[in-house]
Amino acid sequence: MRDYIQYSHVGVLFAAVFGLFVYGGIQLDKKMDMQPLFTLLGVILGFVMACYKLIKETEVKKK
């Protein structure tokens, strides 16, 4: 049960980081009128950063 509580926030963190990057890309596309460019960059960077945070949050702490 303790592991469940310890890692219960990881899914929300992944979705939040990914969503923020995609949202930022969409907003930049609207502002600069370059439709798919920044949205695609936001998707790619958001996925990479979300995976990075996922790995950092779940890696076993070495003593």
Per residue in 3-48, pLDDT tens? 777 778 888 889 999 999 999 999 999 999 888 999 999 999 999 9
Domain range enclosing 43: 2-58
Cα three-residue angle 43-46-49, rounded to 5 degrees: 150
Confidence of residue 62 (pLDDT cuts 50, 70, 90): low
For residue 21, being part of any structural domain is answered with yes
Maximum Cα interatomic distance, the chain, rounded to a whole number of Å: 50
For residue 39, being part of any structural domain is answered with yes
For residue 63, being part of any structural domain is answered with no
For residue 6, being part of any structural domain is answered with yes
Confidence of residue 61 (pLDDT cuts 50, 70, 90): low
How many separate domains does the chain show?
1
pTM: 0.78
For the stretch 38-60, pLDDT in tens is 999 999 999 999 999 888 888 86
